[in-house]
Every structure is written in structure tokens, then in C-alpha cells.
Amino acid sequence: MNTDPRVDAYIAKSAEFTRPILRHLRALVHEACPEAEETIKWGMPSFVHHGIICGMAGFKQHCAFGFWRRGLTDEIARTGVKAEQAMGSLGRITSLRDLPSDRAMLGYIRKAAKLNEAGAPARPKPKAKPALPMPADLAAALKKNARAAKAFAGFSPSARREYIEWITEAKRPETRLTRLTTTIKWVAAGKRRNWKYENC
């Protein structure tokens, strides 16, 4: 197989419950597309054959697996998989039971490889969303913390939006206050909203 020792190291360092899942996904990719080569992209194992076919990741409480090319998302969604529950195409994966059948997975991977071979278009870049108004409580909290204010101003629009949405989506005042406090702490440390996932 066209394996990469960095993928072995990634799996070895991942949470114990994720290891059998990641190993199984890895084996399925190589069975479906023996020509696929392993690499690390964005800190996570990826599989390449005429471009990126798919990638996987292990987090503290779940795994994720996603395809790169268009043409599979709708098909997978019709099986009942709720991809919006986590990054990737298969939603939150916490055990091997959460995966589609091996037969289905092999089919998806083979189709993804063929899409790459045919030069199918990659996933389109999402349209830029308009900036959200700054909540008054967040603005006041940032004003009191110069370090957080400077870091927040240096964040990309999407990074600022993630924090604003997180705060404004809180349904209870107590939850909102907790999120606001956490936001200032994380932003002052230069951390994006989803830094825990980015560092895995």
C-alpha cells in the first residue's frame, strides 16, 4: 500500500476509541482504490489519487470522514446520514457501527476516485457571508480587554462570525454569559472558536 508513516503516527496519538475507526477507514480506502497515496493535509490524514479523494480525522469525542469532490454529498445524505452534525460527509462517528456498510463505503470511495480521474469539479467555495453586527455585550467585553480586542480585530471575518454566532445563539442569559466569558479568554489567547478541532 502507498502508506505514509505520518498517518501511523496520527492514529497512534489519537484517542483510543478512534483508532479502530481510523484504521478501518484507512483499510477501506486502500481496498477501494489501491492506487491512492496517503499524505497529511491540514494536519489530518488524506488520501490522494488524481487529487484528494477523501480525508479523515480523530477528535476527542468523535471521528470524521469526508469526500473532496462534488457528486457524493446528496447520495450519502439520502441514506440518512446527517453530515451537518460534524465536519465531513458522514456526520459524527463514535464507533464502527456509525459507519455505512463496508459495501456502501467501498462504493462511495470508488466513485470518488472515478470523479477525480474524470476531473470532476471540486467542492465549490462557499459564498462569503455578510458581516454580523457586533453584539453590545461582546463589544463591551472586548473594550475591557485590550489583548482580546486586538486579537479579535486581527481575526478573519469568518472567525469573528463564529464567535458572534456562538454568543447570539445562546438561549439562556446564563449560557450567553458563559460563552461571552469563554470567548474573551480564548480570543485573548489567539484561539479561534473551533481551536480544539484545528489542533487535533
Q: Could you read off the pLDDT of 139-165 as tens digits, one per residue?
A: 999 999 999 999 999 998 888 999 999
DSSP-assigned letters across all residues of the chain: -B--HHHHHHHHHS-GGGHHHHHHHHHHHHHH-TT-EEEEETTEEEEESSSEEEEEEE-SS-EEEEE-BTTSHHHHHTTT--GGGSSSSS--B-SGGGSPPHHHHHHHHHHHHHHHHTTPPBPPPPPPPPPPPPPHHHHHHHHH-HHHHHHHHHS-HHHHHHHHHHHHT-SSHHHHHHHHHHHHHHHHTT--TTHHHHT-
Task: Give the confidence band of 81 by pLDDT, cuts at 50, 70, 90.
Answer: low
Q: The domain containing residue 166 runs over which residues?
A: 136-198
Q: Among 4-13, 62-71, 130-139, where is mean pLDDT lowest?
A: 62-71
Report the percentage of the chain scoring pLDDT > 70. Answer: 83
Domain edge (last residue) among 117, 146, 179 = 117
Residue 20: inside a domain: yes
- Does the pLDDT value for residue 200 go beyond 60? no
Q: Domains in the chain: how many in total?
A: 2
- Do residue 90 and residue 183 come from a single domain? no
What rounded mean pLDDT belongs to the chain? 86
Work out the average pLDDT over 173-187. 95
